[in-house]
Amino acid sequence: MKLFGKITVVAVVALALGACSSKEKLVLPEVQNTIKPQKVWQSKVGKGIGHYESGLKPAIVNDTVYAASRDGIVVAKNLSNGRTLWSFDLRNEGKSSLFSRFSSDTARIAGGVTFNDNKLYLGTEDGEVFALNAQDGQLLWRVPVKGEVLVSPAAGEGLVVVATTAGNLIALDPATGEQRWIFEDEQPALTIRGLSEPVIEAGGVLYGSGTGRVGVLIAERGYQAWEEAIATPQGSTDLSRLVDVDAKPIVIAGTLYTIAFNGELVAMELRSGRQLWKRDYASFRNMTVAGTTLYLVDSTGGIYAVDRRNGSEIWGQQGLQRHFLTGPTVYKDYLVVGDNKGNLHWLNRETGDFVARQSMDGSGFYNEPVANENYILVTSRNGELVLLQVP
């Protein structure tokens, strides 16, 4: 395939995972349910994200759930019973984007929900960032930015930082939305349609890029502290040469953990970028950590537990290969992943064995569930919010 200019791949990974063979039917492994997750409540938020690739997911903050839909509905709900505390429709605020005439029925929210200092932050495919009052949903400000915002903004240390498909990291003032600085990164001609969520940590802004690189900016000014490659384009096909770093970086005790599509899982020293260890795993999904264990879903649907101290594999689960899974979420003694058919899979996080499967929403899951110490919250593509609990 000859490439003309910059092209973004929308569904290339899904096609690759599904291209096992038209004659081969994927079958879920048999599971004997040994636990019974209980539904606490269920609700619906707008039309969800539909069939779009979107980083939109809810947030649990103390006793409140904040959630949003692509069409523009933002809600706050009581965590224990699902009662709506407030609801706000961003479509009622009009649109400043040049492309708004093509999407008057939707606000095209794709990044969020991010909570910080009693504010909620969301970004849109039209290149806008919104800030709402988390107490009542009042719109505080809205500003245009260069490029689509497909993942949650980062907030902290007096900044809101958004990553855009144009390759920019943009720091905004959380009180006014005024731009503080912009960092422009080179983008390759061909990428997965996705971005790495930026992370603000220890005075730095951590980012991953479509060029297979990971870096840190000085938060105060936006100057680059360091940048290192964790993947290099290889192979003869466009798909094999994709090296996007789309997983959100994880920082624990001065160590940065990151992973690339067609790349490797790498542990790096946060201050310098010095590589501590690397292992042969590749992914575009967010990872998660509990204690000294790092959990990941690789690019083909393998699920792994890795010792974050040295990169040694603790266990691997291959039963859901090519089922197009979400990233993993740790909840109590379990690791939970969803798939694109609407199944929720529960694993013993110490052994990787399946302990339960729930058939949920036929529209499927795209983003990983969110959890706190008591509950786990899943969101389907059509906007169904379901809060679950295991005693």
Count of beta carbons in the 10 Å neighbourhood of residue 287: 24
In a domain, 191, yes or no: no
In a domain, 258, yes or no: no
pLDDT band at 325, cuts 50/70/90?
very high
Cα dihedral 245→343→11→286 (10° resolution): -10
In a domain, 142, yes or no: yes
Mean of pLDDT values over 379-386: 94
> DSSP string spanning 210-257?
TTSEEEEEETTT--EEEEEES----SSSTGGG-----SPPEEETTEEE
Distance CA 70, CA 58 (A): 12
- Tokens 């919010």, located at residue: 385
pLDDT, position 186: 74
Cβ 153 vs Cβ 161: under 8 Å:
yes
pLDDT, position 189: 56
Which 3 state secondary structure label does DSSP give 123?
strand
Count of beta carbons in the 10 Å neighbourhood of residue 321: 16
pLDDT band at 55, cuts 50/70/90?
confident
CA distances 318 to 13, 280, 341, 381, Å, are 18, 16, 18, 25
Check pLDDT > 80 for residue 234: no
In a domain, 94, yes or no: yes
pLDDT, position 54: 84
Cross-strand pairs, 268: 256, 275
pLDDT, position 362: 86
pLDDT, position 106: 86
In a domain, 125, yes or no: yes
Check pLDDT > 60 for residue 241: no
Mean pLDDT of the chain: 88
In a domain, 205, yes or no: no
- Tokens 């060029």, located at residue: 211
Mean of pLDDT values over 249-273: 94
- 93 burial type by CB count under 10 A (0-12 exposed, 13-18 middle, 19+ buried): middle
In a domain, 197, yes or no: no
pLDDT, position 34: 97
Check pLDDT > 50 for residue 102: no
Closest CA to 208 of 286, 130, 274, 102: 286
Task: Give me the CATH number covering residue 132.
Answer: 2.40.128.630
Check pLDDT > 60 for residue 30: yes
Closest CA to 144 of 103, 187, 177, 114: 177
Cβ 367 vs Cβ 67: under 8 Å:
no
pLDDT, position 12: 47
- Tokens 């103390």, located at residue: 62
pLDDT band at 230, cuts 50/70/90?
confident
pLDDT band at 1, cuts 50/70/90?
very low
In a domain, 367, yes or no: no
DSSP designation for 91: G
Q: Looking at the 3D structure of the chain, how many domains does it have?
A: 1
Which ranges constitute the DSSP H helices of the chain? 12-18
Share of the chain above pLDDT 90, in %: 74
- Predicted model pTM: 0.90
Distance CA 209, CA 385 (A): 31
Range of the domain at 113: 43-184
pLDDT tens per residue, range 336-378: 999 999 999 999 999 999 999 999 988 999 999 999 999 999 9
CA distances 43 to 136, 141, 287, 374, 382, Å, are 19, 28, 27, 18, 11
Distance CA 134, CA 337 (A): 28
pLDDT, position 242: 65
pLDDT band at 296, cuts 50/70/90?
very high
The encoded tokens of residue 151 equal 């993942």
The encoded tokens of residue 177 equal 């939305």
